[in-house]
Amino acid sequence: MSIVETRRRLAIVIPMLALIVSACGSQGTSSPAASSGASGGTGETVEIRWYCCLGTGEDAEAQLPTENRIVEEFNATHPNIHLTFEVVTYDEARDTLATQLAAGNPPDIVGPVGIGGAEAFHGEWLDLNPLIEQSGFDLSKYEQAAVELYAAGGEGQVGIPFAVYPSVLFYRKSLFDEAGLNEPPHAYGDPYVWPDGTEAEWNYDTIKELGLRLTVDENGKDATEAGFDPSAVVQYGYEPQRDDLRGMGAYFGPGSIDSGDGQTAEIPAAWADSWKYFYDGMWKDGFILTGPDYDSDQWAGQVDYAFFTGRVAMSTNFLWSTYGVAEGGDDWDVAAVPANGSTTTSPLNADTFRIMKDSKHPSEAFEVLSYFLQDASPDLLNIYAGMPAVPSEQDDFFTTYQEQFPNQVDWQVVKDSLQYADIPNWEGYMPAYNETLDRILAYGDKWATTEGLNMDDEIAALQAEIQGIWDQ
């Protein structure tokens, strides 16, 4: 081979090798502080991918137009960043994100994502502390506890508080009036007052008594009257939040299936009590819809939640469920969540935006995150029905939020409920998160659809199966 030819070949090979090496280098995880100034000095535009919707955010009419507008506004005011918006519906969002991660093609910013959605990807989130320090992002405006919620788990500060959804008791005034019953208490600690003036503690026993009186068959008889026909119920007294057994359990008290060592599964006693209470409410006492009835077209089949039909008197649910309560009429309000014994718990949902650990442009992603949490925050909170995590912004939020409802809602109850938030949060970390959650959901569905189960045996079997998953 001649020297000229050798040089010519080297002239081709060396730049190619350089390209390959630099390309491989950019695949590595860079520290946030050192990352990316690719856009800064060179004027090059960086693409940031916003991945939605592990929580809310996919509603084509109520949410997507606003989200798209925010993306357009961001791109118009930030020439160094091109933000793209990827919408994957909730049902597919976890699998799709998992596949993107496995393929080494993660998005940069993910949200709105709740605690559960984020825990399904435990260890994949960026610690924001260096970026918070670098940018001078002000965390002092948040409640310290809210900030710490995103610092638990040993991964650093993986989120900044954004939207919170405390639980409240939704109820329909007209159904209470019709039954001649007083409305539930709005202030935590107040008793329930029966029509004869006697007072009862505002707890789940009282809910059951009220629920029976408010469960009515097609002949107009309630569940406490002789001749009541349980097969022809046209109105139910009470409906729990039934999306996930853990959340259902948390209404009776905070807890976690992880006993604390990250290896041993243990069902919290309060959760077991709650599951038995709700199971009996469905299959024995009959003031709660059974699973098949709940899913039918007459109830939740058409409207997501049975309370939205206007034919359920009370329902414990998260603030975000206000998106549908008006469908059943404008006679609704919110009251305090009942206590279980001496413990009052308002299970909490909390959404925010997070940055993936393997984002190639964490600084730019944090710029987007800051925009969402500050400039775009009022619009986003409004479409997500999320109470601002910043206490000073909550009154303004509810003033604006109230405008869509003809009836005056007692939003103070929502704000008060935050003090009874469940710590640890019911959606918190547990080993083998997706598989464990899948098994929990399967048991919840089984209990909702099967009569005559021995709940002690069922709860023991669930715990054993979870332990079996964790032992792998």
Partner 1 sequence: MTANPLARRTRRSPLARREARWGYLFLSPWILGFLAFTLLPMIATLAFTFTNITLSQDEPLQFVGADNYRRLLGDPQMWRSLGVTMRFAILWLPTTIVAPFALALLLNARSLHGSRVFRILFFLPYVVPFVAGVFLWQSMLSNAGWVNAALGFIGISDTPDWLFDRDWIYPALVIIGIWGIGAGVVINMAGLQGIPGELYDAAQIDGAGWWGQLRHVTIPFMTPIIFYSLVLGVVEVMQYFLVPLVLKSGTGEPGGATLFYNLYLYKNFFTFQNMSYGATLAWFLFVITLAVTLVLFRTSRHWVYYAGER
With CA atoms as reference, report the closest residue to 286 among 234, 356, 329, 247: 234
Contact call for residue 303 and partner 1 (CB under 8 A): no
**Binding-site member from 87, 445, 463, 467 for partner 1 (CB under 8 A):** 445
Closest CA to 48 of 380, 370, 384: 370
CB of 293 to partner 1, least distance (A): 8
Rounded Cα gap, residues 132 and 160, in angstroms:
10
Residue 94 in the binding site for partner 1 (CB under 8 A): yes
Is there binding between residue 262 and partner 1 (CB under 8 A)?
no
- Asked if the peptide bond before residue 112 counts as cis, ω within 30 degrees of 0, the response is yes
CB of 106 to partner 1, least distance (A): 11
Q: Does 15 bind partner 1 (CB under 8 A)?
A: no
| CB nearer to partner 1: pick between 167 and 309 | 309
Burial 175-195 (b: 16+ CB within 10 A, else e): bbeebebeebbbebeeebbee
Least distance to partner 1, CB of residue 446, Å:
5
| Binder of partner 1 out of 40, 123, 230, 262 (CB under 8 A) | 123
Q: Residue 207: helix, strand or coil by DSSP?
A: helix
Other CB atoms closer than 10 Å to residue 255's CB: what's the count?
A: 23
Sort 257 into a burial class: Cβ within 10 Å, 0-12 / 13-18 / 19+. buried
Residue 92 host element (H or E): helix 90-102
User: Is residue 438 close enough to count as binding partner 1 by CB under 8 A?
Assistant: yes
230 near partner 1, rule: CB under 8 A: no
Interface segment toward partner 1; rule CB under 8 A; list 137-145, 175-183, 234-242, 442-450: 442-450
CB of 80 to partner 1, least distance (A): 32
Q: What angle do CA 168, 169, 170 make, to 5 degrees?
A: 110
Contact stretch for partner 1 (CB under 8 A) within 90-98, 213-221, 351-359, 369-377: 90-98
**Which residue from 230, 292, 341, 378 is in contact with partner 1, where contact means CB under 8 A?**
292
Q: Which residue, 4 or 102, is less far from partner 1 as judged by CB?
A: 102
Selected from 446, 455, 463, 467, the binder of partner 1 by CB under 8 A is 446
Which of these segments, 63-71, 376-384, 411-419, 443-451, binds partner 1 (CB under 8 A)?
Answer: 443-451
Q: Which stretch binds partner 1 (CB under 8 A): 22-30, 275-283, 287-295, 377-385?
A: 287-295
How does 415-449 read in b/e, with b if 16+ C-beta sit within 10 Å? ebbbebbbebbbbbbbbebeebbebbeebbeebbe
Kindly give, in sequence order, each residue whose CB lies less than 8 Å from that of residue 233, ignoring residues fewer than 6 positions away.
215, 216, 217, 218, 286, 293
Q: How far apart are CA 442 and CA 431, in angstroms?
A: 17
Q: Does residue 297 bind partner 1 (CB under 8 A)?
A: yes
Region binding partner 1 by CB under 8 A among candidate stretches 35-43, 59-67, 290-298, 309-317: 290-298
Span interacting with partner 1, options 91-99, 149-157, 248-256, 339-347, rule CB under 8 A: 91-99
CA pair distance 183, 180, nearest whole angstrom: 10
> Is 101 an interacting residue with respect to partner 1 (CB under 8 A)?
yes
Q: Check residue 191 for interaction with partner 1 (CB under 8 A).
A: no
- Looking at 4, 102, 261, 454, which residue binds partner 1 (CB under 8 A)? 102
The one segment of 73-81, 205-213, 297-305, 357-365 that binds partner 1 by CB under 8 A: 297-305
Contacts of 199 (CB under 8 A, 6+ apart): 191, 192, 193
> Is 435 an interacting residue with respect to partner 1 (CB under 8 A)?
yes
Q: Tokens in use for 43?
A: 């004027």
Among 66, 264, 296, 467, binds partner 1 (CB under 8 A): 296
Number of residues that bind partner 1 (CB under 8 A): 31
Q: If you search the block for the tokens 């002690």, which residue do you land on?
A: 456
Provide, rounded to whole angstroms, the least separation between the CB of residue 95 and partner 1: 6
Q: Which amino acid is at 63?
A: Q
Q: How far apart are CA 20 and CA 12, in angstroms?
A: 13
CA atoms of 427 and 2, how far apart (whole Å): 69
> What residues line the site for partner 1 (CB under 8 A)?
91, 94-95, 98-99, 101-102, 123, 291-292, 295-298, 301, 432, 434-435, 438-439, 441-442, 445-446, 448-450, 461, 465, 468, 472
